[in-house]
Amino acid sequence: QQKAASLEQISATVARINETIKEKKNKLAPLIKELRNVRAEFSTLEAEHAEKKALYEQAALGLDAERDKLATEVAAYQEECRREESRFHYLHAMSASTSVLLDRAKREDAGRNRIGDAAQSYRELYQSRIQQQENLSKTLRERQKAVKEGYEAGLGQARMFRDLRSILQCKLRVLRADADPDAAGAGAAGAGD
C-alpha cells in the first residue's frame, strides 16, 4: 500500500511536472518563433553592415592616400615658394646694386671709358646687365605668382578632402547608431557629458 501510495504520488508529481513543461513550451513557442525571425533579420543586417563597412574602408583608404598625396604636394609647393621668394629678394638686392653701379657709370664720361674688344662703354655694359636682371626678375615674379596661385588651389582642395572625411566619419557614426540603438543612446548620453 505504501509503495502504491508512493507510486501514485510520484505519478502525480511527474504529471504536474509534464503539465508545467507543456505550459511553458506553449508560452515559449511564440517567443522562440520570434527569436528565429529576429536572428534571420540580424543575419541579413550583419551581412549588409559588413558590405557597407568594406565599401567605407575602401573609400577611406582612397581618401587618406589622396590626402597624403595632396599634403606632400602642398609641402613641395610651400618649399618652392620659399625658395623663389628668397631668390626674388636676392635678385632685388642685386638689381639695387646694379642700379647704384649704373648711376656711377652715368656720371662717368661714356666716351673716355671704353672697355673690351667691342669698345663698349660702361654705360652700355651696365644697361645690358640691368636689362638681363630686370628680365630675370620679371620671370621670377611670374613664377612666384604661378606658385602662389597653385598653392591656394592646393590648400582649397586639401580643405575639401578634410571636410569630406569629417562628413564620412559622421555618416559612419549615424549608421552605427542606427544599427545598434542601445549604443546610440549610450553615445548620446556620453556626448552630452
DSSP 10-36: HHHHHHHHHHHHHHHHHHHHHHHHHHH
What mean pLDDT comes out for the span 74-91? Answer: 94
Q: How far is CA 115 from the centre of its chain?
A: 62
Question: For residue 180, what is the DSSP state?
Answer: -
Q: What is the pLDDT of residue 152?
A: 76
Q: pLDDT (tens digit, 9 = 90+) per residue, 23-49?
A: 988 888 888 899 999 999 999 999 999
Among 87, 83, 88, 56, smallest CA distance to 172 is for: 56
Q: Would the CA dihedral through 44, 48, 54, 57 be positive or negative?
A: negative
pTM exceeds cut of 0.75 = no
Q: pLDDT (tens digit, 9 = 90+) per residue, 98-157?
A: 998 887 777 665 555 555 555 566 667 778 889 999 999 999 999 888 888 888 777 878
Pairwise CA distance, residues 189 & 181, whole Å: 12
**185 touches 94 (CB < 8 A):** no
Count Cβ atoms below 10 Å from residue 81 Cβ, excluding itself: 16
Q: pLDDT (tens digit, 9 = 90+) per residue, 45-80?
A: 999 999 999 999 999 999 999 999 999 999 999 999
Packing angle between helix 122-179 and helix 2-107, nearest 10 degrees?
170
Question: For residue 1, what is the DSSP state?
Answer: -
Question: For residue 83, what is the DSSP state?
Answer: H
